[in-house]
Structure 1
Amino acid sequence: MLDDGQIEAFITEGFVKVEQAFPRAVADAGRAILWDASGCDPEDRATWTQPVIRIGERGDEPFARAVRSPALVAAFDQLVGAGRWLPRNSIGTFPIRFPVDVAAGDDGWHIDVSFPGDDPTDYLNWRVNLHSKGRGLLLLFLFSDVGADDAPTRIRVGSHLRLPALLAPFGESGADLTQFPYEQATADLPEIAATGRAGDVYLCHPFLVHAAQRHRGTDVRFMAQPPLLTRSPCELDRPDGAYTPVERAIRRGLDG
């Protein structure tokens, strides 16, 4: 389980890293499945022609084991609240990043939207609101070792605390990513890279500003980035004051 220091770091910085949240052997088995799904040969670099290949949701046994690991279930309860999140039996998507000299063009700073606008099929118009309707966490599952040169996800530390004040004027209907200046409002914040070992998982606040980056290493990077979905939106005015860490961070952001 997460200790008090880790929970406070999550509230302040916007993420916590759970080391070896699932066994390396599970990561190895999942990676073998992803190699096969990618159509590339791990022993033949001539097949590595694209900077990124995206694999959708997978429910194979290694991925189901990873997302149901006891360490993660306990952490989900601590951060989002027991009974408030939807259990998963699969994870995805997987942006598999290759060390090729081609730009992927997908490395802009962003947050992840969580519910549809008028047209559910138009993902560009999906939205996010102050109560993070639909999403409790952003999860980064490392299925390979990820060093500083292996295209680790970039994170703007504390950026989630800048978002509540930007989202509050949009009410329950929320906003799409073109309607509020989250990138400019967080540009001065320090940046870290989500490095780690296969089996590590980053649990991120849903408002955390993050970005991909170009692969500058030698080994292929395997990661999943699913959401943890919720049964109901965050509540920011609880009579009993029993706020979850996700809610406490939103309230702290509103207080400035």
Structure 2
Amino acid sequence: MPKIDDLGLTAGQVQQFIDDGFVKIEQAFTTDLAKTGRDELWADIGLSPDEPEKWVQPVIRVGFKTSPPFVEAANTPRLHRVYDQLVGEGRWLTPKGLGTFPIRFPSSDLPGDDGWHVDVSFGTDHPDFMEWRANVKSSGRALLMLFLFSDVSADDAPTKIRKGSHMVIARQLLAYGDAGATLRQLSANGYASTADCKVELATGAAGTVYLCHPFLVHAAQPHRGRHPRFMAQPPLLPKGEFDPALPPSPVQLAIRRACGLTF
């Protein structure tokens, strides 16, 4: 029987990624790594799991982390194999860490960052983040990734995902060409075009990773549980632009299908 690290995605899981815009990878990294990472993050924010009376903010953000547990979690043999399957062998950059970390705490206060959105991927040198951009080729981003460093139930502020929304966004971006659309343009109607998509919750045990299409519409939500949620939300970066001379990856196949292009 193969070891868990040797297991990539089945053909059905790859098709699910194309159709739904995400795939859930259980045991993508170990629970020991998850705990080591959590311990480091607790130290970073100056709080403790044993002193809930000090958890007074609904969310605290920690930036990109390059220490060993985070590098190792992002680069397990299993994840490398799946990156190859979804993005294409040799078409992505080895992650040098993980981040950012929106650490969410049980709170009756609204977090203030729970709107539906797409993660834009270039033009990030503009001082107004609403002018940051995405285009139909997904320049600057190969995947959106959600790394669970704690157990996340439906009450623990799991990320909300609009299933199949990546197809809608791909069609919208097609009209903007290589220049792409700004976050302001994409969010002008509050992503009403994806409002009918079924909502899935990114729940799972610590060590679970959700690999998502770059155009997937998603949102945070308030934490109504008991245990803080630790999650990283990094991109997987591409080595370069899509190369039409290479066979299309599942990321590209989803875009092509959405836009009515031939495979």
Instruction: Render the CA deviation track for 1:47-79: whole Å, top value 9, x for unaligned.
Output: 100000000000111101100101111010110
Q: What's 2:218 paired with?
A: 210
Instruction: Render the CA deviation track for 1:56-115: whole Å, top value 9, x for unaligned.
Output: 000111101100101111010110011111111210000000002211111100000000
Q: What's 1:169 paired with?
A: 175
Q: What's 2:135 paired with?
A: 129
2:256 is matched with which residue: 225, 230, 251?
251
1:11 aligns with 2:18: yes
CA distance in 1, matches of 2:171, 2:134: 13
Report the alpha carbon displacement of residue 251 of structure 1 after superposing the two structures with TM.
0.4
Equivalence map 1:80-229=2 (5 Å): 80-116=87-123, 119-180=125-186, 181=189, 183-229=191-237
Change (3 A) 1:13 1:182: farther
Q: What's 1:70 paired with?
A: 77
Q: What's 1:26 paired with?
A: 33
157-166 or 226-235: bigger deviation:
226-235
Report the alpha carbon displacement of residue 169 of structure 1 after superposing the two structures with TM.
1.3
SS at 2:236's partner residue?
strand
Structure 1: 5+ residue stretches without partners = none
218-227 or 120-129: bigger deviation:
120-129
The answer (yes or no) to whether the contact 2:152–2:205 under 8 Å persists in 1 is yes
CA distance in 2, matches of 1:113, 1:182: 15
What's the RMSD between the two structures over aligned residues? 1.4
CA distance in 1, matches of 2:62, 2:194: 30
Q: Name the TM-score, length of structure 2 as normaliser.
A: 0.93
- Residue identity over aligned pairs, in percent, reads 52
SS at 1:215's partner residue?
coil
SS at 1:135's partner residue?
coil
Instruction: Render the CA deviation track for 1:117-169: whole Å, top value 9, x for unaligned.
Output: 6x434322110000000000000000000000000000000000111211111
SS at 1:110's partner residue?
coil
37-46 or 203-212: bigger deviation:
37-46
The answer (yes or no) to whether the contact 2:58–2:111 under 8 Å persists in 1 is yes
243-252 or 166-175: bigger deviation:
166-175
The answer (yes or no) to whether the contact 1:166–1:182 under 8 Å persists in 2 is no
SS at 2:145's partner residue?
strand
The answer (yes or no) to whether the contact 2:107–2:222 under 8 Å persists in 1 is no
1:44 is matched with which residue: 47, 51, 54?
51
120-129 or 94-103: bigger deviation:
120-129
CA distance in 1, matches of 2:222, 2:126: 30
SS at 1:108's partner residue?
coil
Instruction: Render the CA deviation track for 1:9-42: whole Å, top value 9, x for unaligned.
Output: 0000000011000000000000000011111121
Q: Name the TM-score, length of structure 1 as normaliser.
A: 0.95
83-92 or 177-186: bigger deviation:
177-186
Q: What's 1:58 paired with?
A: 65
* Letter of the 1:80 counterpart: V
CA distance in 1, matches of 2:158, 2:242: 29
